[in-house]
Amino acid sequence: MTHMIRKSKSKTVRVLADVYASIEGPAVGPLDAFYGRLSRYVHEDPETTPASSLEDAASRLFTDLFPIVYRTVAVAADRPDGGASEFDEDYVQCLAGKALDVKPFGDVPYTLAKDISRTFSATNVLVHALRYGGQLVDEEHSRSWLGYGNREQCSAALTKMRQCSWCDGKDAKPCHGLCVNVIRGCLARETAHLDAPWTGYYEAVDRLVSAINNGQSSVCLEDLLRSLHSRISEAIMYAMNHASDIQNNVSRILRIIH
């Protein structure tokens, strides 16, 4: 999974370098932060890390890309030499803060954020379900249910429970209390180590089923990662095609601010 995320990032960087050469360099930082967040999320506990954090990461990517795209695409049209204008840090922060109002990338940031959140959420649950399942199997193989740590005591207790009446020439069943104590000591106590991983596995599978029933896994993770470069490129192309509208919106917002 980490390998697929790295491949997706490399593909995105190559597309930017080939199609939007002036954007590729400054965009490396936002892309690093975005893909790094995806990689970390897969290994985080789904109970303590909300999927909304991925929506925030996707939104942040386009917020950080806006000043870069605006500088190199929209404003470049005003330069006779076709070069990009330089913005000071305050202006960059101002642009980033108004990205939601300007909507320079159309609906791509919103739809992509939702797809990422749903798909990675279901994948994260699956990863943890498999992890708990593996832990459960390891625990079961590494221990013996009967007599783990007290084989002699269990053997003696089982012998006493079942054989003592035979020693007296009788075939009487042992009393209920004795049976319960022996079973509790030899079985229940020895399977207690499975309680935590089994509970975790059950809860993880339950979350996975809920995610599937709620339609959170409608997009395959592999398909999503393979499409990220084209969807990010689509967003940038949208900004290029609407450069004049973006400039007008930015100018209007700046007039209101000042």
**Which of the pair, 122 or 97, is modelled with greater confidence?**
97
Whether residue 131 is contained in a domain is answered as no
Other CB atoms within 10 Å distance of the CB of residue 189: 14
Structure tokens given for 155: 């053997």
pLDDT at position 81 is 44
| Domain total in the chain | 1
Under the banding of pLDDT at 50, 70 and 90, the label for residue 209 is low
Whether residue 225 is contained in a domain is answered as yes
pLDDT at position 187 is 67
Under the banding of pLDDT at 50, 70 and 90, the label for residue 148 is very low
Contact between 125 and 46 (Cβ < 8 Å): yes
Q: Is the pLDDT of residue 79 over 60?
A: no
Whether residue 138 is contained in a domain is answered as no
pLDDT at position 82 is 46
Contact between 31 and 9 (Cβ < 8 Å): yes
Q: Which of 182, 183, 165 is nearest to 174 (CA)?
A: 165
The domain of 45 spans 1-126+218-256
Whether residue 172 is contained in a domain is answered as no
Under the banding of pLDDT at 50, 70 and 90, the label for residue 153 is confident
Whether residue 169 is contained in a domain is answered as no
